[in-house]
Chains A and B, each alone.
Chain A
Amino acid sequence: MNVFLLIIQDVAVIAVVAAIIWSILRFCRSERWQRALRRFYGDWLGVAMLVVISIYFVVGISDLVRLPVKDPSGRFVSLLDVCFRDVAVEKNFSAPLAHTTYSLNGAEPLKGRHLFGTDQLGKDVLKQTMKGCSTAMLIGTLTSLIYIPIGIILGIVAGYYKGWVDDVIQYVYSVIASIPGILLLIALLMVLGKGVLQISFVLGITGWIGLCRLLRGETLKQSERVYCEAARALGQSNINIIFRHILPNVMHLVLISFILGFSGIVLTESVLSYLGVGMPIGTPSWGVMIDSARMELSRDPMVWWNIGAATGALFFLVISLNLLGDSLRRAFDPKAA
């Protein structure tokens, strides 16, 4: 990989993040979102969760943005690698913050101290866990970029045009929904192979159904409302009504599905990697870490820090997303909660 590609990749990462933040801020200007935001700021749990998720995002992006400096193995280093450049690689497992390790040769001093210990290959677990962040964020974002546009377009089109268009779209999602989720994911990944792009594609093309159903139902309701009738009476085109009038009124549902869907994607990715069809072994993914650590609890002495760090990182990300999604839902629709 040369420096030119590297710069393109960095710019792409930053551009995507900026685009997501910009589009959320754009919708925040509307009256309804302003009111919801005021309610959201009063909910300390939701705000705290937003802070936690932002930390995860910063860590994830710091590993995705690479610098034009090569490490000894010839790969470009990321910002995260630079932060961890002084961390030594040990020979084998070592407990958190241990000074010495014991092997057949007796006691040996460790090269450095590790907050979360080291894994079987002697790598620092804290660094591995933080690198897993970038994989989770990358897959979550790529998948959302695939499934959200499909869900929005098909859902609104089905709900707005009704008739045979609705029938065709309903048929397509009934077929996909009738294959049990995890079996379909495994089958698709067996055929397409392992990797970040494959997982994102597979989760994306199977994940739009929930959003599509939700938006179809909401659009059916909205298109009967008086403001749509008024727009039609004024002679506005269907495309115009969909993008100017209906889309802004259902966008909060998209935001909530994005947040809650993100937690589902991260969890599914780890399950798939654990089952051996997701990320390849050796890549920094929490699912792979849990998979390779599944027998380490039964060792003597017990190795708990590897699985503990991966599970903890996964758990705090998923629960923050779930609680944030719930509190956003309460903010947008206080009557339902």
Chain B
Amino acid sequence: MFSYIIRRILYSVPILFGVIVITFVLFYVVHPPHSVALQMLGPKAKPEAIQNWLHNRGYDKPMFINTQAGRSLFDSQLCHHIKSLALFDLGKSLKTNEPIIDMFKRGAIPSLCITVPAFFLGITMAILAALFLVFVRESLLDVTGTILCVVSMSIPPMVYVIFGQWLFATQWSYFPAFGFIPGGFSMARFLALPICIMAFAGIGSDIRMYRAIFLEEARSDYVRTAYAKGLSARRVLLVHVFKNGMISLITLVVASLPLLIMGSLIIEDFFGIPGLGNLMINATRSADFTVIMAEVYVGSLLFLFGLLLTDICYAIADPRIRLK
């Protein structure tokens, strides 16, 4: 098992390298630091000021390989970019000059406060609904339920947020409409509505997917054997199908666990919750390119970590995989 995990980690290194190269091409070649300097300092900035700005951040070095005499070959922007990201140094914000790692540490907690409860609430509701649809399969209820799932998938995500806030906060005043106070009961009051909206917004596609998983289990041979033994339909579904379906379901779901740290763009922006999604939106509004780059990098790091977790789950569930 240990060697399998090591092999899997080594496998994601070249992919991470590819991600770093893509961010470099995007933020250094397609959108060079010179144009960032012009945006930051204004179009009337003196050439010396721009040169100074670039020099302070190391952006005046050669792009790929340093061919200047007396310098190391690797004293270039690409090599510094790779080195700093590999050491998890995300740089500083262009706007506030604050280290981005501090901004991430500050934003991670509020993001997790929404996404983790929303994730578990959503997944529980989706599993229950999917089991129900499998229980009544090939009936009118099943068809209606599946079409309702497509309906819920087709509503744009921001409409859930806008309508939910209007109905529950503005119209009925059950919850505060906007804001965030850290700690204790007041935080729970502010977070309840965004959590419920987030859990509900993505549920349609989840139910459809889980229904397909459980349906496939319900058609396998051991289910027929269980029926032949004389077990009731409810017991077959809740014990046999549920247990076996959960194996493929958990391995599927575990991939998205690490990404919960990144929060939710639309919800955090709309409810004014200072998480990582809000950080991203603010960065796009103020054209803070270093923050956007850091978000992309951390996001893909977490995604690769999720893939690793999935593979470990598969290896636990099916020991044959380890030996391949």
Q: Would you call B166 and A297 a contact (CB within 8 A)?
A: yes
Per-residue CB proximity of B141-154 to A under 8 Å, as 1/0? 00000010011011
CA distance A176 to B27 in the complex (A): 16
CA distance A326 to B166 in the complex (A): 33
Q: Would you call B156 and A182 a contact (CB within 8 A)?
A: no
Residue B246 interfacial (CB < 8 Å): no
CA distance A313 to B293 in the complex (A): 35
Cβ < 8 Å to B, chain A residues 111-127 = none
* Interface footprint category on B: 35 or more
Q: Would you call A191 and B30 a contact (CB within 8 A)?
A: yes
Question: Which of B15-23, B45-53, B187-195, B316-324 lies on the face that meets chain A?
Answer: B15-23
Task: Choose among B157, B259, B281, B302 the residue that contacts A271 (Cβ–Cβ < 8 A).
Answer: B157
Task: Choose among B159, B292, B307 the residue that contacts A186 (Cβ–Cβ < 8 A).
Answer: B292
Residue B226 interfacial (CB < 8 Å): no
Per-residue CB proximity of A163-190 to B under 8 Å, as 1/0? 0000000011011101110111011101
The residue on A at minimum CB distance from B25 is A191
Q: Would you call B292 and A178 a contact (CB within 8 A)?
A: no
CA distance A326 to B120 in the complex (A): 28
CA distance A297 to B162 in the complex (A): 8
Residue B132 interfacial (CB < 8 Å): no
> In the complex, which residues of chain A have a beta carbon less than 8 angstroms from the beta carbon of B307?
178
Q: Looking at chain B's contact residues, is the secondary structure mostly helix, strand, loop, or mixed?
A: helix
> In the complex, which residues of chain A have a beta carbon less than 8 angstroms from the beta carbon of B23?
187
Task: Please judge, given known A-B contacts A178-B303, A180-B303, whether A276 and B156 are in contact too, CB under 8 Å.
Answer: no
B314 → chain A closest CB, angstroms: 17
CA distance A290 to B147 in the complex (A): 25
CA distance A180 to B16 in the complex (A): 13
Residue B31 interfacial (CB < 8 Å): yes
Residue A323 interfacial (CB < 8 Å): yes
Residue A223 interfacial (CB < 8 Å): no
Question: Which of B59-67, B104-112, B282-290 lies on the face that meets chain A?
Answer: B282-290
Q: How many interface residues does A have (CB within 8 Å)?
A: 40
> In the complex, which residues of chain B have a beta carbon less than 8 angstroms from the beta carbon of A188?
26
Q: Would you call B296 and A183 a contact (CB within 8 A)?
A: yes
Q: Would you call A190 and B303 a contact (CB within 8 A)?
A: no
Q: What's the count of A-B pairs with C-beta under 8 Å?
A: 116
Cβ < 8 Å to B, chain A residues 279-337 = 287, 290-291, 294, 297-298, 307, 311, 314-315, 318-319, 322-323, 326
Q: Would you call A322 and B154 a contact (CB within 8 A)?
A: yes
Residue B217 interfacial (CB < 8 Å): no
Per-residue CB proximity of A21-39 to B under 8 Å, as 1/0? 0000000000000000000
Interface centre among B154, B157, B285, B304, by most chain A C-beta atoms within 10 angstroms, is B154
Residue B266 interfacial (CB < 8 Å): yes
Task: Please judge, given known A-B contacts A183-B280, A183-B296, A318-B154, whether A276 and B303 are in contact too, CB under 8 Å.
Answer: no
Residue A40 interfacial (CB < 8 Å): no
Per-residue CB proximity of A265-281 to B under 8 Å, as 1/0? 00100110011110000
Task: Please judge, given known A-B contacts A171-B15, A187-B293, A294-B162, whether A275 and B156 are in contact too, CB under 8 Å.
Answer: no
> In the complex, which residues of chain A have a beta carbon less than 8 angstroms from the beta carbon of B163?
297
Residue A3 interfacial (CB < 8 Å): no
Q: Would you call B150 and A326 a contact (CB within 8 A)?
A: yes
CA distance A314 to B155 in the complex (A): 8
CA distance A172 to B17 in the complex (A): 11
Q: Would you call A178 and B19 a contact (CB within 8 A)?
A: yes
Q: Would you call A191 and B154 a contact (CB within 8 A)?
A: no
Cβ < 8 Å to B, chain A residues 230-287 = 263, 267, 270-271, 274-277, 287
CA distance A204 to B310 in the complex (A): 28
Q: Would you call A290 and B285 a contact (CB within 8 A)?
A: no
CA distance A298 to B147 in the complex (A): 31
Residue B202 interfacial (CB < 8 Å): no
> In the complex, which residues of chain B have a beta carbon less than 8 angstroms from the beta carbon of A322?
150, 153-154
Q: Would you call B304 and A315 a contact (CB within 8 A)?
A: no
Q: Would you call A187 and B14 a contact (CB within 8 A)?
A: no
Cβ < 8 Å to A, chain B residues 292-311 = 292-293, 295-296, 299-300, 302-304, 307
Residue B265 interfacial (CB < 8 Å): yes
Task: Please judge, given known A-B contacts A186-B280, A191-B26, whether A180 and B259 are in contact too, CB under 8 Å.
Answer: yes
Residue A19 interfacial (CB < 8 Å): no
Residue B244 interfacial (CB < 8 Å): no
B38 → chain A closest CB, angstroms: 15
The residue on B at minimum CB distance from A274 is B158
Residue A48 interfacial (CB < 8 Å): no
Residue B124 interfacial (CB < 8 Å): no
> In the complex, which residues of chain B have a beta carbon less than 8 angstroms from the beta carbon of A275?
265-266, 269, 281, 284
> In the complex, which residues of chain A have a beta carbon less than 8 angstroms from the beta carbon of B269?
275
The residue on B at minimum CB distance from A179 is B300
Task: Please judge, given known A-B contacts A180-B262, A183-B280, A187-B296, whether A311 and B159 are in contact too, CB under 8 Å.
Answer: yes
The residue on A at minimum CB distance from B177 is A298
Write 14 A-B pairs (CB below 8 A) sorted by A numbering: A178-B16, A178-B307, A179-B19, A179-B22, A271-B157, A275-B265, A290-B158, A297-B166, A314-B156, A315-B154, A315-B155, A315-B156, A319-B154, A326-B150
Other than the known A180-B259, A180-B296, A267-B156, what 9 A-B pairs have Cβ atoms closer than 8 Å? A171-B15, A179-B299, A180-B299, A180-B300, A183-B295, A186-B280, A187-B295, A315-B155, A319-B151
Q: Which residues of A contact B (CB under 8 A)?
A: 171-172, 174-176, 178-180, 182-184, 186-188, 190-192, 263, 267, 270-271, 274-277, 287, 290-291, 294, 297-298, 307, 311, 314-315, 318-319, 322-323, 326
